[in-house]
Structure 1
Amino acid sequence: MLTLTNVTWLNILLCLACVGVYFLMWVFNKKNPAPYPPGPPGWPLIGNILDMPHIRVKPWLTFATWGKKYGNISHIQVMGQHTVVLNSVKAAIDMLDKKSTLYSDRPIFPVGGQLVGWKHIMALLPDGDCLRRYRRNIHRVIGSRAAVGIYSQIGEVETRRFLKRVLTKPGQLQAHVRHTAGAIILRISYGYEVTKNDDPFVDLADRGLDLFSRSTAPGAFVADSMPFLIKAPEWFPGAGFKRLVHDWRKIVEEMVFTPYNFVKDQMAAGIAPESFTSNLLENRTLSVEDENVVKWSAASLYAGGADTTVSAIYSFFLAMTLFHDVQKKAQAEIDAVIGPDRLPSFADRGSLPYTEALAKEVLRWNVVAPTGIPHRVTEDDIHDGYFIPKGSLVIPNIWFMLNDPQTYASPLQFNPERFLSNDGKKPETDPRTICFGFGRRICPGIHLAEASVWISVVMSLAVFDISKVVENGVEITPEVDPSSGTISHPKPFKCSIKPRSVKAVELIEQDANY
C-alpha cells in the first residue's frame, strides 16, 4: 500500500533527478553565439516553470504582458525546453514566413499527440513528406476560392436549414451553429448528410475536438515540459493525466475511423456520393501507409472545419447582440442590394462590401486560435541579434496581433468600417493574413472557413433581428469571455433572435433543398 512516506520519498527522488538533469545541462552547455531574447527571469533548476500560464487563465494575456515588458520577441526556458513568444505580425512574418525552412516543424505533444492520439492529425505533423501529402490532398479540394466554389451549394443549403432551425428554436443557437458547421464539413469530407439533430457524427466531432483543444493548449500538462512523466505510473506526482487519456484516445479513434469506414462501406455497396474521401479511395489499391494518409487527411479536413467555424459564427451572434448599430448598417446594405424577395447567395458577395467587412471583423474580434499551435525550430538561428536554439517552440500570440492598438484602433470595439476605405483613409490590416497562421503551417482551409462564415453572416442578417434578451424588465448584456484552449469559443450567452418580417419568415420556410 502506498503511504505518505512513500510519496514523500518519490518527491525527493524526483527533485534529485531534476537536479541531476540540470547539472548535466550546465556542465555540457556550450557558450551561446548570442543572447536569448529577453523574458521573465527564471530560477535555478526549474527555469520559468512558475511563469508558464495555466491553460485556464488565457495564456495569450500573459504572453501579451511579456510583449509589453520585454518586446515583440520574448523567451522562457522550462527544464531545458526553450519557448519563444512572438507578439507582432512583423516578427511572425520574418521568422515563420521568411525563414519557413527553419520554423515549420511541430513539437511532439507527449499527452495530446502521443497518448491521446492526435499525432497523425495534420496540424501536429512534423514538417516533411507526409505533411506535404496531406496538404496536397486538401488543397485539391478547398485550396482556392474557385475550388471552394464547387461546394457553394452545400453551404447555402445547410445555412438555409440553419435559418429554419433557429426560427423554430432560437434558444438553442449554439447547438444549431454546431450542427450546421458539422453538416457542411461532413458533406465535403465524407459525403455524409446530416438529417437530424443530435447526429452521432456531429457529436463525435464535438467531443473529439474539445479534447484536441484541451490537450494541445500551452501549459495543458506538466508532462509536455517533463516528458519522463509519460513513463510514470498514474499515482506519481504530475502523472494524474493518465487517468483521462485512455477514454480520450477511444473518442479520437472513433472520430477518425467511424466516418472513414462509413465511406468505405458505401463505396462497397456502390452508393457512395462524391466526397473528399471517396475521390481519394476510388479505383486505387492503397498500401497501409497510403490508407493511413487518406484516413487522417480526411480527419484533418473534418476536424479543421467542424470547430473553428463554430466559434466564429457563434461570436457573430454575440457581436450583433452587443453592437446593434453595426447590424442595422449591414441590413440596410443587404436590403438595398438584395431586396426582400430572396435570400442572399455567394453570387452577391462582391456587391456587399460592408457585409464583407463585417465578416472580416468577426475573425478579428473573436480570435478562434489565440496562440495557434507552436512551431518548432529545426536548426539554431540568430534572429535580430537573439539566439534561437534548435528545438525551441515558437508561439505566435495571434490574439495580441489582432488586438494590438498600434494596428487596430479601439480593438475591443466591433467596427467593420476599419476595413473599408473612407475619406481616403487606408483600411486596417486584413485579419485573414494573421488569424489563419503563418508560413507553411497556415490553415489550408482558409477559403472554406471564410466562405462558411460569410454565408452564415449574410443570410442571418437578411432575415433575423438579433438583440439583447429582456428578463423581468431588465436588459441582459452578454459577457465577452472567450474560453481557453487551442480553439477558443465565446462564453455561452442569451440573445433574442426574431424574424425581421412576415416576408422573412416566408423566405426561411422555403424548401431548403431548392
Structure 2
Amino acid sequence: MVNVLQLTDTLALCAAGFIICCLISRKPSLPYPPGPAGYPIIGNLFDIPKELPWVQFAKWAKEYGDVISLSIFGQTIVVLNSHSAVKDVVLMRPLNVAGRPFIKFAEMRALLPIHLTTVGREWRERRRVVDTYFRPAAIQPYKGVQIEKVVKLLRRIADKPNDISDHTREYNGALIMDIVYGYDVKTHEDYFVQINEQFLSFASRVVLPTGPIVNAIPILGRLPPWMLGRDFAALLEKGTRLWRQVFNEPFDWTKNSIKTGAAKESLVRTSLSEISEDDTEGETILKHAFGNIFAGGTATLRAFILHMVLSPTVQTKAQEELDRVVGRERVPNFDDRPNLPYVNAILMEVLRWAPATPIAAPHSAEDDINLERFYIPKGSIVICNAWAILHDQAYYLEPDIFKPERHIGIDGRVLEDPILDYAFGYGTRRCPGRHFADATMWLYIASVLAFFNIQRARDENGNEIPVDSKYEPTNLIHQPMPFTCTLVPRDRSTLERICKQD
C-alpha cells in the first residue's frame, strides 16, 4: 500500500514542477528594453517629467538606446526615439499597436476623443465619417472658405497688428466652425473657439500616465471623487463640462438652425440629411466624430510667427519668392503652391522643429512584441517620440537650427520627406485631418508673409522688446511661450483694397 505521505509529497512535487514549467514557458526569451532603474512599486513615477517629457526621453535614448522602457506602478511604458524603432514596432505591426491605453480619468465621466479611442466598431465608424469629409479629394470644396477666412485674418491683423496670437486662434476656429457646423465666428473671444481651446489645453494634461493619479493607479477611480481631494474632484468636473460642451453644443446649434430654416451648408447638415430622424445611433456617431475635429494648427502657426521674428533673412527670402510668383496685387492661392518651394520649406521646417504634439497620443500593444533585441509585453503603453526623431542628426544636420533650405534639393524643388509625416502621428492612427490642416497652415503662412513684415515690437521709448524662444512647459502640446511682436504691412494701399473685398 502506498504511503499517504509519500503520495502527498509526490503530488506536491508534480504540482510545483508544473507551476515552474508554466512560469518558465511564459518567461520571455528576450529582456525588456533598457531604461532608468526607478524605485520599488512606483517605478519611474518621479523620473518622468510632467513638463517637456520628450526632451528627457531623448536624453535617455542617448544613454540606453533608441528603444527605452519605463514603469509606473507595474505599467510598462516603451518609448521609441528613432525612425527605425517606429518602423519596427508601429509601421511593421500596424494593427498590433493601433490600440490606445486605458485612460481611467477619461473613462470615469467623459467621452474619449477619436484619437484616444481604441480600435473597434465605435472608432471605425467615427474614423469613416472623418475620412469621408477630410481625405485629399474631399477637401477641395473647402478652398473657397479657406481663402475667405484668410482675407478676414489679414483684415484683423491690419486693424490690430500686435494681437497675432488671438488672430491665429480665430482663423483656425473660424474655419472648422464654418465648414463643420455652418457657424460664423466673429472674434477670437467667440464661445465655441474658447471652449475648444480650453478643451485642447485640458486634454493635454490628463491623458498620460503622469497625469491624474487614477491614470497611474486605476483602482483609485472606484472611489468617490471627493476622496481623492478637492483638486481632483474639481478637475473631473471641469473635464466633464468641457467634454459635454465640445461634443454636444455646436452639434445642437446646427440642429436647431436646421429646424428654423436658418442653417448654412455644413458637414453636419449634409450628414444629418443622409440619415433618418429616428436614427439615434447614427446621430451619436456623427456628433462624436465631428466633435473631435478641433481647430488644430494654432501651436504650429505660433511657432511660425516666432521663427520669422527670430529669422528675418528667412522671411525676406520667402517674400522675394512670393513677389516673383504671386506679385503684390492678390492673395496667394493653392494653385501657386507648386511654384513656391521656399514657402513650402518654411512650413516643413516649422513642423520639424516644433511638432505640435511631440509624443502624440500614446499607443497600446495589443499583443506581445518580439524585436531583434527586446521584448515588449502585451498591454504596454507605446510612445513615439516625434520630437527626438525630427531632431535626429542622422537625418537632419544641425537639427537645432531653423533652416528651411534643408528641405530643398539642388534642383530647387521640395524634397520628399516621409519622416516629416510623423508630425501628424503614426500608422493607422495618423491624424485624419492632416491634409486639411496642412493646406490651412500653408495658406496662412503664404498670405501673412505676402502682406506683412513680422518684426519685434518696440516699447514706448522705441526700444525693441526682446523675444524669448522658450516653449510652454506642457506634457503634450508644444507651443511657444507668449511673446510680443508686431506685423507691419508691406504695401498698405494694396492690403486695404484686398481687405475691403467681400
TM over 0.5: yes
In the TM superposition, residue 178 of structure 1 has moved relative to its aligned partner by 0.5
Taking the aligned partners of 1:453 and 1:91, their CA distance within structure 2 comes to 29
1:82 paired with 2:76, answer yes
Do the aligned residues in 2 keep the contact of 1:191 with 1:274 (CA within 8 Å)? yes
C-alpha spacing 1:464/1:273, structure 2 compared with 1 (3 Å): same
1:124 paired with 2:116, answer yes
Q: Which residue pairs with 1:49 in the alignment?
A: 45
Do the aligned residues in 2 keep the contact of 1:478 with 1:494 (CA within 8 Å)? yes
1:298 paired with 2:290, answer yes
Taking the aligned partners of 2:163 and 2:145, their CA distance within structure 1 comes to 22
Which consecutive unaligned segments of at least 5 residues does structure 1 have? 1-26
The alignment partner of 2:48 has SS state of: coil
Q: Which residue pairs with 2:456 in the alignment?
A: 468
1:343 corresponds, among 331, 334, 343, to 331
Taking the aligned partners of 1:403 and 1:451, their CA distance within structure 2 comes to 24
Q: Which residue pairs with 1:92 in the alignment?
A: 86
1:139 paired with 2:131, answer yes
Listed as ranges, the matches of 1:12-411 within 5 Å are 30-54=26-50, 57-111=51-105, 113-115=106-108, 117-119=110-112, 121-144=113-136, 146-217=137-208, 219-234=210-225, 236=227, 240-285=231-276, 286-301=278-293, 303=294, 306=295, 308-411=296-399
Taking the aligned partners of 2:429 and 2:94, their CA distance within structure 1 comes to 9
- Encode CA deviations 1:469-503: one digit per residue, 9 max, x unaligned: 23345433322222213222211111121001234
The alignment partner of 2:458 has SS state of: strand
Taking the aligned partners of 2:285 and 2:256, their CA distance within structure 1 comes to 18
Which consecutive unaligned segments of at least 5 residues does structure 2 have? 1-21
The alignment partner of 1:74 has SS state of: strand
Do the aligned residues in 2 keep the contact of 1:93 with 1:438 (CA within 8 Å)? no
- Encode CA deviations 1:134-192: one digit per residue, 9 max, x unaligned: 11111111111x32121011111101101110110122211111111000011111111
Q: Which residue pairs with 2:499 in the alignment?
A: 509
Taking the aligned partners of 1:365 and 1:386, their CA distance within structure 2 comes to 30
C-alpha spacing 1:378/1:431, structure 2 compared with 1 (3 Å): closer
Q: Which residue pairs with 1:12 in the alignment?
A: none
Q: Which residue pairs with 2:13 in the alignment?
A: none
Do the aligned residues in 2 keep the contact of 1:92 with 1:396 (CA within 8 Å)? yes
Q: Which residue pairs with 2:19 in the alignment?
A: none
In the TM superposition, residue 428 of structure 1 has moved relative to its aligned partner by 7.7
C-alpha spacing 1:43/1:218, structure 2 compared with 1 (3 Å): closer
Taking the aligned partners of 1:100 and 1:238, their CA distance within structure 2 comes to 40
The two structures have a TM-score, normalised by structure 1, of 0.88
Q: Greater shift after overlay, 189-198 or 77-86?
A: 189-198
C-alpha spacing 1:355/1:425, structure 2 compared with 1 (3 Å): closer
C-alpha spacing 1:348/1:427, structure 2 compared with 1 (3 Å): closer
Taking the aligned partners of 1:198 and 1:136, their CA distance within structure 2 comes to 32
Q: Which has the larger radius of gyration?
A: 2
In the TM superposition, residue 197 of structure 1 has moved relative to its aligned partner by 4.5
Do the aligned residues in 1 keep the contact of 2:330 with 2:498 (CA within 8 Å)? no
RMSD (Å) for aligned C-alpha atoms: 2.2
Q: Greater shift after overlay, 266-275 or 445-454?
A: 266-275
1:39 maps to a residue whose letter is G
The two structures have a TM-score, normalised by structure 2, of 0.90
Listed as ranges, the matches of 1:379-458 within 5 Å are 379-422=367-410, 427=415, 429-430=417-418, 432-458=420-446
Do the aligned residues in 1 keep the contact of 2:257 with 2:263 (CA within 8 Å)? yes
The alignment partner of 1:435 has SS state of: helix
Do the aligned residues in 2 keep the contact of 1:204 with 1:251 (CA within 8 Å)? yes
C-alpha spacing 1:283/1:441, structure 2 compared with 1 (3 Å): closer
1:62 maps to a residue whose letter is Q
The alignment partner of 1:434 has SS state of: helix
Taking the aligned partners of 2:87 and 2:244, their CA distance within structure 1 comes to 35
Q: Greater shift after overlay, 135-144 or 468-477?
A: 468-477
Q: Which residue pairs with 2:14 in the alignment?
A: none
The alignment partner of 1:241 has SS state of: helix
In the TM superposition, residue 423 of structure 1 has moved relative to its aligned partner by 6.9
C-alpha spacing 1:34/1:238, structure 2 compared with 1 (3 Å): farther
Q: Which residue pairs with 2:8 in the alignment?
A: none
In the TM superposition, residue 236 of structure 1 has moved relative to its aligned partner by 4.8
2:481 maps to a residue whose letter is K
Taking the aligned partners of 1:460 and 1:424, their CA distance within structure 2 comes to 23
In the TM superposition, residue 283 of structure 1 has moved relative to its aligned partner by 4.2
Q: Greater shift after overlay, 469-478 or 435-444?
A: 469-478
The alignment partner of 2:488 has SS state of: strand
Taking the aligned partners of 2:412 and 2:449, their CA distance within structure 1 comes to 28
1:487 maps to a residue whose letter is I
Taking the aligned partners of 2:427 and 2:204, their CA distance within structure 1 comes to 21
In the TM superposition, residue 287 of structure 1 has moved relative to its aligned partner by 3.5
Taking the aligned partners of 1:118 and 1:445, their CA distance within structure 2 comes to 20
Taking the aligned partners of 1:187 and 1:449, their CA distance within structure 2 comes to 15
Do the aligned residues in 2 keep the contact of 1:360 with 1:430 (CA within 8 Å)? no
- Encode CA deviations 1:295-342: one digit per residue, 9 max, x unaligned: 0101012x2xx1x31111111111100000000000000001111221
Taking the aligned partners of 1:491 and 1:326, their CA distance within structure 2 comes to 21
Taking the aligned partners of 2:253 and 2:464, their CA distance within structure 1 comes to 47
The alignment partner of 1:506 has SS state of: helix
Taking the aligned partners of 1:390 and 1:474, their CA distance within structure 2 comes to 59
1:447 maps to a residue whose letter is H
Taking the aligned partners of 1:217 and 1:231, their CA distance within structure 2 comes to 19
Do the aligned residues in 1 keep the contact of 2:75 with 2:380 (CA within 8 Å)? yes
C-alpha spacing 1:234/1:502, structure 2 compared with 1 (3 Å): closer
C-alpha spacing 1:204/1:243, structure 2 compared with 1 (3 Å): closer
Equivalenced residue count is 477
1:139 maps to a residue whose letter is D
Taking the aligned partners of 1:283 and 1:383, their CA distance within structure 2 comes to 47
2:153 maps to a residue whose letter is F
C-alpha spacing 1:229/1:218, structure 2 compared with 1 (3 Å): closer
Taking the aligned partners of 1:264 and 1:419, their CA distance within structure 2 comes to 45
The alignment partner of 1:470 has SS state of: coil
The alignment partner of 2:162 has SS state of: helix
